[in-house]
Amino acid sequence: MTLAAFTPAAPVRKSWFERLGIGHVLLGAFLLLYPLIASDFFLTTIGGYSMILGMIALSLMLLAGYGGMVSLAQITIAGVAAYVIAIFGENNSNVHGFGWPWWIAAPFGIFLAALFSAMFGWIAVRTEGIYTIMITLAIATASFYFAQQNYTLFNGFPGYSGLRAPEAFGLYWREPRPFYYLCLACAALAYAAVLYGSRSTFGLTLQAIRDNPRRMRAIGYDVTAHKVFAWFLSGLIAGTAGVLLAWFNGRISPGTIAVGPAINILIIAIIGGLRHPIGPFLGAVVVVLMQTFAIDIVGAERFNTLIGLFFLVIVFVSPDGILGLWERFKPSQDRDGWHSRPDGTGV
Amino acid sequence: MEHNVAASRLQGTGAHALELDGVARHFGALVALTGITMRIAPGERRAVLGSNGAGKTTLFNAVTGDFLPTAGRIRFFGEDITALAPHERIRRGLRRTYQISQLFTNLSVLDSIYLACRGVSRRRFSLLRPSLSDPNMAQAESIMHVVHLDADRDKLVGTLSHGQQRQLEIALALAGAPRFILFDEPAAGLSPTERRDLVAILNALPKYIGYIIIEHDLDVALRVSEYVSMMHNGRLFKEGTPEEIENDPMVQEIYLGGGHG
């Protein structure tokens, strides 16, 4: 035996394909090819809208799953960006509409949403658990009524209409395929950022704060500052979704940021699961499909009952949402040798 | 070399590691601490003994800033830290462990110690994943070795045994460059073997690191300390060497329940 045999082996470097994981590759391929099989309706009203709601729910997952802070104000934060698009961009409500180009209005809206998010967070981090939910619900409710009653800035009840998605690179980005791919790109970027960030130093810090804020102070961390920064990051995601929402609907009104939609985001996140960033997107697809087709099944007056019942069943059967069901199902697949177990480290 | 740096810094200031002047803490009508005056030299290892409810942990909480004292001043190596936030005190080299383990149950052992090392470094904030060349990661590995947790590096903290969690408590306090540590009943719930390990770990700490240890097990407390302060009803009532304290009739009456002399 040669000496070389005793040399410790270098750590095996995984290829990018292995690091990405077979699940991500298959999902990515499906989403990229989805426009080939989907109608325009399924591309935007189901696909694009699911990804927008999924991003808002992802911003909640970041706060709740990693930071232990459940917020009901995520749709409000998305609304900030949407109103910026309406007020600083173009609208046909004859109120404001400063005509800023999209490439200034959109980043400005996202940044302002993140600042508002950090401000909401700065108020909310003084509380824990149910009190955080109550404070953020109060912020969401107050914002809704303020937007509804203030005509100077928010144009009151009707809000703003005639918001147009940009025309750039030879494409009108509200057409079904471009809009779908725009939503997919934003959602994929947000998903990848959260997944990567969960194992970053900041991500570990946030999870440690969730587990034991007192101990984090005792090892030198400014707990409040880290929590507020998590709200800022969450606001970037919700703000991006807010811009897409404005372009998707072509309008923004107080109804978009009402208490009902605020609670919907929480329902989406819980149905999907808060333990992994894919959960909010799963929840969004399920809720959007139900919102769209429940009317055909049980009629217009009962579709919310159907969604409510489905929510109850999910929470009852699997507190971790659809992700929890998947986790239960997955080991049996492994035993059968259908696929190799992922190493769990993610991307 | 770190010892020399610390020693020269101390000679420069000539300050005590920890100085308490008339520290008091009231909770409404309840007087948890009153008139605590204590001076602890750099590198000194002191035990604080007393029955349950004597105010020992309250004293630690006041020193680490978990709550502010109602009256009195606290100085750490000459600097008045009475009004500083807890994380600011930690960054100055103060550390503590808790009577009931305060850990991150969903993080791994290595991640927990890494965060503790990073928390007192200048670059504690990063949106990037820790790299293998990160010096904090190297320090985390070496601390893990000191507290005998190498084999459990990737285990979730919530799955560790009680004894291992107590070891991790100490590991978190050793992260960074501690100058003074407050140990709150580190031997609570440990087996005799684990207690021997604990004594070995405490006695092997670099000499420039001083500490105060609260411990009900006199066997442990008197073997790892050079000086002892006795507390009763929120007051300090006796100080001395371990031998003096062990043979003091009043101490035996109050702390050991009488019948020992």
Please spell the DSSP secondary structure of A154-166, one letter per residue. Answer: S-TTT-EE-----
User: Picking from A68-77, B53-62, B119-128, B162-171, which range would have the lowest pLDDT averaged per residue?
Assistant: B119-128
Contacting residues of B for A226, CB less than 8 Å apart: 125
H/E element, B184: strand B180-184
Distance CA A259, CA A29 (A): 36
Q: Are A287 and A54 in contact (CB under 8 A)?
A: no
> Mean pLDDT across chain A, nearest whole number?
89
Angle, helix B109-119 to helix B135-146, in steps of 10 degrees: 120
* pLDDT at residue A320 in the model: 86
Banded model confidence at residue B2, pLDDT cuts 50, 70, 90: very low
Q: Where are the domains of chain B?
A: 1-93+177-261, 103-176
pLDDT at B20: 95
Would you list which residues of chain B are within 8 Å, Cβ to Cβ, of chain A?
A: 64, 66, 85-87, 90-91, 95-96, 98, 102-107, 111-112, 114-116, 118-120, 124-130, 172, 175-176
Q: What is the pLDDT of residues A177-209, one digit of tens each?
A: 999 999 999 999 999 999 999 999 999 999 999
Q: Mean of the pLDDT values across residues A49-77?
A: 97
ipTM for the predicted complex: 0.85
Chain B nearest C-alpha distance from A320 (Å): 16
Residues 6+ apart with CB under 8 A from A63: A69, A70, A71, A230, A231, A234
**From the CA of B57, how many Å to the nearest CA of chain A?**
14
pLDDT at A328 over 90: no
- Distance (Å) of CA A192 to CA A46, A105, A106, A188, A207: 22, 25, 21, 6, 18
Amino acid at A207: Q
pLDDT digit string, tens, across residues B198-228: 999 999 999 999 999 998 888 888 889 999 9
Task: Report the residue of A19, A199, A201, A343 to disrupt the B interface, i.e. the one with the largest count of B CBs within 10 Å.
Answer: A201
Residue with tokens 């830290």: B81
Q: Hey, of B95, B115, B174, which one would you mutate to test binding to chain A, going by the most A CBs within 10 A of its CB?
A: B115
Q: What count of other Cβ atoms lies within 10 Å of the Cβ of residue B28?
A: 5
Whether the per-residue pLDDT at A265 is higher than 60: the answer is yes
The yes-or-no verdict on residue B81 having pLDDT over 80 is yes
Compute the mean pLDDT over every residue in chain B, rounded to the nearest whole number.
88
Q: How confident is the model at residue B255 (pLDDT cuts 50, 70, 90)?
A: low
CA distance A128 to chain B (A): 17
Q: Is the pLDDT of residue A251 over 60?
A: yes
**Would you state the pLDDT for residue A325?**
84
Percent of chain A with pLDDT over 70: 91
Burial class (CB in 10 A: 0-12, 13-18, 19+), A245: buried
Chain A residues in contact with B66 (beta carbon < 8 A): 214, 217
Overall average pLDDT of the A217-246 stretch: 96
Confidence category of residue A31, pLDDT binned at 50, 70, 90:
very high
- Of A200, A207, A217, nearest to B127 by CB-CB distance is A200
Q: How far is A228 from chain B (nearest CA, A)?
A: 13
Determine, for residues B87 and A208 on separate chains, whether the beta-carbon distance falls below 8 Å: no
Q: Which two tokens stand for residue B86?
A: 């807890």
Mean pLDDT, range A100-124, rounded to an integer = 97
Q: Would you say residue B259 has pLDDT above 60?
A: no
Residue A304 has pLDDT above 70, yes or no: yes
Subunit contact A201:B96, Cβ cutoff 8 A? no
Q: Please give the pLDDT value at position A13.
A: 64
The pLDDT-based confidence of A337 (bands split at 50, 70, 90) is very low
Of B120, B126, B175, nearest to A200 by CB-CB distance is B126
Task: Tell if the CB–CB gap between A219 and B126 is shorter than 8 Å.
Answer: no
pLDDT at A346: 36
- B14 versus B101: which is more confidently predicted? B101
Taking CA–CA distances from A11, the nearest residue in chain B reads: B132
Task: Report pLDDT for B10.
Answer: 42
What region, left, alpha or beta, does residue B257 occupy, with left being phi > 0 and alpha being psi -120 to 50 degrees? left
The CA distance from A272 to the nearest CA of chain B, in Å, is 21
Chain B residues within an 8 Å CB radius of A215: 98, 102-104, 172
Distance CA B99, CA B77 (A): 25
Question: Torsions phi, psi of B90, nearest 5?
Answer: -65, -40
- Determine the residue of chain A that is closest to B128 in CA distance: A200
CA nearest A231: which of A14, A25, A64? A64
- Average pLDDT (B12-24) is 83
Give the distance from residue B258's alpha carbon to the nearest chain A alpha carbon, in angstroms.
Answer: 37
The rounded distance, in Å, linking the Cα atoms of A202 and A233 is 11
Yes or no, beta carbons of B126 and A202 under 8 Å apart: yes
Taking the C-alpha atoms of residue B114 and residue B130, their distance in angstroms, rounded to an integer, is 9
Residue A331's pLDDT band (boundaries 50, 70, 90)?
low
- pLDDT given for residue A345 in this prediction: 36
- What's the mean pLDDT in B6-35? 78
3-state SS assignment for residue A172: strand
Choice between A30 and A7, residue whose per-residue pLDDT is larger: A30
Size of interface A-B (CB pairs under 8 A): 91
The answer, yes or no, to whether residue A76 has pLDDT greater than 60, is yes
Query: Do residue A212 and residue B176 have CB atoms under 8 angstroms apart?
Result: no
pLDDT in tens, A55-66: 999 999 999 999
B66 to A196: CB separation less than 8 angstroms, yes or no: no
The answer to whether the beta carbons of residues A252 and A82 sit under 8 Å apart is yes
pLDDT for B115 equals: 96
> Is B115 close to A215, i.e. CB distance below 8 A?
no
To the question of domain B1-93+177-261 being in CATH 1.10.10.10, the answer is no
A-chain residues within 8 Å CB-CB of B130?
200-201, 204
Measured in angstroms, the CA of B163 and the nearest CA of chain A are apart by: 18
pLDDT, mean of residues A243-272: 96
Q: How far is CA A7 from CA A4, A92, B132, in A?
A: 5, 72, 20
Is A202 close to B127, i.e. CB distance below 8 A? yes
For position A327, what pLDDT does the model report?
Answer: 78
Question: Which of B60, B126, B129 would best serve as a mutation to test chain A binding (most A beta carbons within 10 A)?
Answer: B129
pLDDT-derived band of residue A326, with 50, 70 and 90 as boundaries?
Answer: confident
List strands edge to edge, sheet with B71-76.
B30-40, B18-27, B71-76, B79-80
B119-168 pLDDT tens trace: 988 888 899 998 888 899 999 999 999 898 999 999 999 999 999 999 99
Distance CA B216, CA A42 (A): 69
Nearest CA in chain B to A212: B104
